[in-house]
Amino acid sequence: MNSELSSYHFQPVAVVRSCFKTKFGIPRQPGLISEARGSIELLPPYNQPNAVRGLEDFSHIWVLFVFHDALREGWKATVRPPRLGGDKRVGVFASRSPFRPCPIGLSVLTLRDVRIGDHGKIALAVEGLDLLDGTPVLDIKPYLPYTDAVSDARAGFAPVAPASAALPVQFSDQAAQQAAAIEKRGLDGFRLLAEKVIAADPRPAYQREAGRVYGIFLHGYEVVWQAGADSAVVTHITRDATPPPSKRRQAQQIKNATNNDIAEEASAAAADTADTDSDAAGPTQDS
């Protein structure tokens, strides 16, 4: 291989400030939950008003980013997309798994506003997020409907959008009161955001038994919910601006379940040991 083409080095131009503080609960595609809002903050030396001049005239943007939280895992030749129930493999290049040779993702987001503040602060207010807080951004481009939307495209195993309310969600009296108090503090739509995230059923395909307790971290709050046979109940909401590893109960549950799942399959899938599952915690852009 030509050494000049062997590798490249890029610096992030921006960073994502997201309502999602852990991977669990992040929508698997962009635009599925409009209430999932945040911002993209430009980094020096790219935080110049001239760099975003004219961007406010576009309703949507392409965001090219790094799957930074998946770097340690390496890439897999095949993955098991959640849309296929977690029991069928496809090639990594036929999926949107974060575990890629080059861990780069691409999202189309709604651009709500271009905010130019003091001291070089420039932020793009966006919605329809499917990105983890702190995600590095490599590039931002305007979305052009006439060329970026393909009306007769085929979509393989994901021909239509997933059900937006796969899991009916109820709030306990305590959780409803807590959500209302949070919204009074300025987080409008917090309850609807939590409801839609849980309704999309972020659980791994192999972990759907009733009775498990999960927690999703949104805007610095932990929303704790229990899965039933065919519904979910939000039991309570607690303030937790920085979720430490010891409190990520859902991540630990998923990790344990993943280890058990792999162990049980090892003897029956010895020939398949080079390929492991896609991220059990519902990574961004995993179809």
Phi and psi at 199, nearest 5°, equal -60, -30
Quote the CA–CA distance of 195 and 177 in Å, as a whole number: 14
Residue 250 has pLDDT above 70, yes or no: no
User: Is the model's pLDDT at 268 over the cut of 80?
Assistant: no
- The residue with greater pLDDT, 279 or 240, is 240
In a domain? residue 158: no
120-156: pLDDT as tens digits:
899 999 999 999 999 999 999 999 999 999 999 999 8
pLDDT tens figures, 221-238: 999 999 998 899 999 999
Domain assignment of residue 129, yes or no: yes
Burial state string for 209-228 with b = 16 or more CB within 10 A and e = fewer than 16: eeebebbbbbbebbbbbebe
Mean pLDDT, rounded, for 150-176: 88
Q: Following DSSP, what letter does each residue of 59-126 receive, concatenated?
A: SEEEEEEE-GGGGGG---SEE--GGGTTS--EEGGGS--S--SS-EEEEEEEEEEEEE-STT-EEEEE
pLDDT value at 284 more than 70: no
- Is 142 a domain residue? yes
Candidate from 146-150, 160-164, 187-191, 201-205 with smallest mean pLDDT: 160-164
| 277 touches 260 (CB < 8 A) | no
Is position 233 within any domain?
Answer: yes
Number of domains in the chain: 1
What's the CATH number where 92 sits?
A: 2.40.30.70
Q: Is 85 contained in some domain?
A: yes
List, for residues 78-125, the tens digit of each pLDDT value: 998 888 877 899 999 999 989 999 999 999 999 999 999 988 899 999
Residue 111 is assigned to a structural domain of this protein: yes
Phi, psi dihedrals of residue 14, rounded to the nearest 5°: -160, 170
Q: Which residue has the higher pLDDT, 157 or 241?
A: 157
Sheet holding 221-227, edge to edge: 169-171, 232-239, 221-227, 213-218
Look at residue 36 and give its three-state secondary structure: coil
Number of CB atoms found within 10 A of residue 165's CB: 12
CA distance 215 to 221: 10
* Residues of the domain holding 144: 9-149+163-272
268 vs 50, more confident: 50
91 in any annotated domain: yes
- pTM here is 0.80
pLDDT tens-place string over residues 179-200: 999 999 999 999 999 999 999 9
Average pLDDT of the chain? Answer: 84
| 154 located within any domain | no
What CA–CA distances, in Å, run from 201 to 72, 204, 280? 26, 8, 13
The CA distance from 121 to 98, in Å, is 30
